[in-house]
Amino acid sequence: MNDTAACQPSRRRTLRWVLLEFFGSMNLAITLLVVVAVASVIGTVLQQNQPYPDYILKFGPFWFDIFRQLDLYDVYGTGWFIGILAFLILSTSVCIYRQTPILWREMTRFRTRVRLDSLRGFHQQAEWRLPNQDSETVLRAVRDVIQTRGYRWRIADHGDHQVVAAMKGRCNRLGYLLTHTAIVVIGVGGLLDGNLWLKLKEWRGELRIETRDLAARDIPPESRLTPGAAAPAFRGNVMLPEGSAANFVFLRVRDGFVLQELPFAIELKDFQVAYYDTGQPKSFVSEVLIHDQDHLGDQPLAATIRVNHPLVYRGYAIYQSDFGDGGSKLEMQAWPLAAPRLQAVEVKGEIGGTLKVGGSSGALTLELDDFRLFNLLPQPDAQPGDRQFRNFGPSFGFKLRDATGEAREYFNYMAPVQMEGRWFYISGMRARPGDPLTYLHIPADAKSSPERFLRFNARLRDGDWLQSFFERSVPSGESADFQRDFNRVRLSLMELVTQGGFNAVAERARTVVPADRLQEATTLYLNIVRDSLAEIFVEVLREEGMAVEQGINEREEAFFNDALSALAALPNYGSPFYLQLTGFQQVEASGLQVTRSSGAVVVYLGFALLSIGVFVMFYTAYRRLWVWLADEEGATRLVLAGAVNRRQAEFTGEFAGIVAALERRMSVASSP
């Protein structure tokens, strides 16, 4: 039992030694530091905390899922990064714990117990035998020389000899402690400024990440953080329309968010944005009022926030980060594209709102997404390399979503755009996010309206009107059977054109005509289609009151050709109507980012310690000198040796100067 009891302290000491060796290992600390540095590079190169759909578009589903499993979209808030950082802090702290006593001994002890043969083995050493010199005189000379050069010294008498130990630059050892302490301090600041606090609340079940698209007022309490429970550090965003106020920001977490309430409210009074000639925003400024009843009373604080010029209030920094639409009110006309009657429907809505509209395959949801007052784009007719830009005027974006949730995205300009001397209403469309826009160019008539084309398109879809028109337009002298068959063919071809464009006509020919006659039949069908469309177009012009008996002019001929191009694009347009913007009331919004960084002071302190420590380590050298003095039969043996931890060449020159000074003193002292 006694043996067992005696072994227990030894085992405890052994386990403690192993743990200290492991956690205090320099290799471990360097490895952890490299991993943290690599993760920081990833977090810098890869934009963090963006919406997941943006990452899917950028990397594709495969790599998006791999990066998501590695938590690369929120590197600084992941459990593995926080764990590695905490482990680095622990490892560096153990290094400091182990090395501090050793370094303190090096800084305070002069090490006067040295052997003569050890001194003779130093790279920097010199030795003299001084006859007729007593040790006290030599010691006095040595002390004066080294003291003049700034060395601190101690003398030890060992009976048969004396040792003078001197040192200079011992603060170099503080550089090691300061740099390692700086790593710990910066790491602690990083933990305070990271998502550790949110992670802990989420792990304890006190916080739930909201993934639904909800308004701020509808976010449940378990996804809210009150000012009293605010995170020590956070970075949140809010979009404020002009004239509105908010006392909260949204913190993005992985594929969701939480709402952080603020102890004050921010009201946006006015927002201004200026553009470069290229259309890029040059500057944007927010005029805000801070409402804080507890600290400001009834008098709000007025301030101006610019890019790179934040407002700091009560430890919260408010940055100008973005801008957008704040709910502009739009007036529109919905022109049917698939109906036989042309009757526009007045539609009103605001950006961010939704409307229910009818479609041929069921109800559709119209989502108004964006409004732009200015669209500065390159001049369409500019020569290559010519940087000419033109304002294409207001535009708005919207989505049409069907019952299955699939949506098409549209981008329409309000005013017609001139291209190659002709005017068009332009509407862009894409079926999937990230795809390039394909454009529908609707030719504008003499009244700068899309109505003529839309009436022409409606006539093509009115079967009764087409049949009546074709019966009147068949050349006389043909048999009744020929007229009936010819009209049936033309009606069938018009239906194909409206449903699938001119490609549908060619595809029909491929299915019903033998291969050896395919080219001839396709040409015949397309000629019939073009002639029929031309007759219908002339009839539309006649209905407008235009005199067409003598033919149409070049302007109307160009309009007809542009109308054919628009008809060919309609089957892929995907919308049952063309939405024309007729009026608007713009409401701008400012994107503000509110940050709180309780660890900033800690990090700044850490960087200050790091700067001082690096300066001390690289620009100071820890220098030691030893002098051995012994009496030898009427003479004095003097041995001088020195060592330095860095800047060896500089120390070599200094040591040579000390040797020369001693030799001069010895020669003066020994002279009669």
- The pLDDT tens digits for 170-191 are 888 888 889 989 989 988 888 8
pLDDT (0 to 100) of residue 360: 58
Q: Please compute the mean of the pLDDT values over residues 375-393 and round it to a whole number.
A: 70
Of 597, 620, 651, which residue constitutes the final position of a domain?
A: 597
- CATH value at residue 140: 3.30.160.110
Within-domain flag for 580: yes
Q: Is the pLDDT of residue 6 over 60?
A: no
Residues 264 and 338 in one domain: no
Do both 239 and 189 map to the same domain? Answer: no
**Does 209 score more than 80 pLDDT?**
yes
Report pLDDT for 126: 92
Tell me, yes or no, whether 568 lies in a domain.
yes
Provide CB contacts within 8 A for 414, sequence distance 6+. 393, 394, 395, 396, 580, 581, 582, 584
Mean pLDDT, residues 449-462? 93
Identify whether 608 is part of a domain: no
637 and 541 together in one domain: no
pLDDT above 70 coverage of the chain, percent:
92
> Tell me: the pLDDT tens digits for 299-357?
999 999 998 899 999 989 999 988 888 889 999 999 999 888 888 899 999 998 899 88
Residue 362 clears pLDDT 70, i.e. is over it = no
Closest listed residue to residue 494, CA positions, set 455, 518, 459, 451: 459
* Tokens 């040579």 found at: 656
Domain co-membership, 648 together with 521 = no
| Structure-block tokens of residue 114 | 């040295």
**CA-to-CA separations, 163 to 120, 158, 632, in angstroms, rounded:** 14, 8, 15
Residues 586-627: tens digit of each pLDDT: 998 999 999 988 777 888 899 999 999 988 888 888 899 999
Token pair for residue 182?
A: 């700086």
* Local structure of 175: helix, strand or coil: helix
Please list the residues that pair with 590 across neighbouring strands.
Answer: 240, 323
Contact 84, 36 (CB under 8 A): yes
| pLDDT over threshold 80, residue 19 | no
CA 596, CA 197: separation in Å to the nearest integer?
A: 13
Residue 611 placed within a domain: no
For residue 369, is it within any domain?
no
Examine the domain organization and report whether 68 and 126 are in the same domain.
Answer: no
Q: Does residue 482 share a domain with residue 433?
A: yes
DSSP, res 546 = -
Quote the CA–CA distance of 444 and 414 in Å, as a whole number. 12
Please count the structural domains in the chain: 4
Do 149 and 292 share a domain, yes or no?
no
Q: Which amino acid is at 503?
A: N
Instruction: Kindly report the pTM of this predicted structure.
Output: 0.66
Count of CB atoms within 10 A of residue 214's CB? 13
pLDDT digits (tens, 9 = 90+) for 502-543: 888 888 888 888 888 888 888 888 898 899 999 999 999 988
Same domain, 32 and 145: no
pLDDT tens by residue, 143-168: 899 988 889 989 998 888 999 999 99
Tell me if 371 is assigned to some domain: no
Q: How far apart are CA 80 and CA 38, in angstroms?
A: 13
The beta-carbon contacts of 458-463 under 8 Å, at least 24 apart in sequence, are 458/336, 458/339, 458/340, 458/341, 458/342, 459/536, 459/539, 459/540, 460/494, 460/497, 460/498, 460/533, 460/536, 460/567, 461/338, 461/339, 461/340, 461/498, 462/340, 462/341, 463/340, 463/491, 463/495
* Residues paired with 644 in a beta bridge: 623
Answer yes or no: do 43 and 155 share one domain. Answer: no
DSSP letters, 65-97, are HHHHHTTGGGGGGSHHHHHHHHHHHHHHHHHHH
Using N-to-C axis directions, what is the helix angle for 518-543 and 480-500, rounded to 10°?
A: 90
Domain membership of residue 201 (yes or no) is yes
| Other CB atoms within 10 Å distance of the CB of residue 79 | 12
370 falls within a domain = no
Identify the pLDDT of residue 545. Answer: 84
Q: How far is CA 88 from CA 30, 96, 183, 415, 501, in A?
A: 9, 12, 9, 61, 66
Q: Given CA atoms 92, 94, 97, 101 in this order, what sign does their dihedral have?
A: negative
Q: Which segment of 9-13, 246-250, 477-481, 640-644 scores lowest on mean pLDDT?
A: 9-13
Q: What is the mean pLDDT of residues 42-56?
A: 80
**pLDDT cut 90: percent of the chain above it:** 31
One domain for residues 561 and 523: yes
SS3 state at 174: helix
128 beta partners: 638
pLDDT of residue 570: 92
The C-alpha atoms of residue 500 and residue 489 are separated, in whole angstroms, by 16
Cα 40 to the center of its chain, rounded Å: 14
Q: Mean pLDDT in the chain? A: 85
Q: Are residues 448 and 460 in the same domain?
A: yes
Give the per-residue pLDDT at 4: 44
Q: Residue 653's domain spans which residues?
A: 117-170+629-670
Q: Are residues 188 and 201 in the same domain?
A: no
- Helix ranges, 253-408 (H): 293-296
